[in-house]
Amino acid sequence: MHNKAVSDAMRLGMRRLASGVCVISARIDDEDFAMTASSVTSVSDNPASLLVCINKMVSKQEYFSTQGSLFAVNILGEGHEAVSNLCAGRDPGKSRFSLGEWRHDHSSPYISDAQAVFFCETDMFISYGTHQIVIAHIKRVYNLLINLIRNKKKF
């Protein structure tokens, strides 16, 4: 039974939970695709795996719900707000790649200056409510190394 008041209150409450912002990217049917996702979390380090929640209204959500699908999870950092907003918008396709430092590897486009990039393969998924919950094996990881600068005995 759906309770709109509880759903509205839940959305409002969840806005108060700080979390990282990620862009999920993939090469689907010879086209690049990217979307912003705010629900990404680790599942296990053995096997290395992530959980990604994808709204069923997303145009390509069925791709991510297919076992063996390849995609990248880009953890955004300072300076990526415009990329996040663009990938969360209603304008699909190539325009989402007009901002940011995008590169391609053999499986997925990725943001080269992201804080980290996890190259993943869908292992399983669960359909629940408005979302697909995708559990993916991490195949490789790219971490951006930022040097700490020490100045006047402070980092």
Q: Please provide residue 89's backbone torsions phi and psi, each rounded to the nearest 5 degrees.
A: -80, 180
Q: What is the pLDDT of residue 69?
A: 96
Q: What is the pLDDT of residue 138?
A: 97
- Residue 155 pLDDT > 80: no
- The predicted-structure confidence for 36-86, as pLDDT tens digits, reads as follows 997 999 999 999 999 999 999 888 888 888 999 999 999 998 899 999 999
Domains and CATH numbers, the chain: 20-143 (2.30.110.10)
Question: Minimal CA–CA distance to 100: which of 117, 120, 83?
Answer: 83
SS3 at position 61: helix
Q: What is the pLDDT of residue 61?
A: 83
Question: Minimal CA–CA distance to 22: which of 38, 44, 3?
Answer: 38
- The predicted-structure confidence for 125-153, as pLDDT tens digits, reads as follows 999 999 999 999 999 999 876 544 444 44
Q: What is the pTM of this model?
A: 0.86
8-12, 35-39, 57-61, 92-96: the lowest-pLDDT one = 92-96
- Residue 32 pLDDT > 80: yes
DSSP H or E segment with residue 7:
helix 4-14
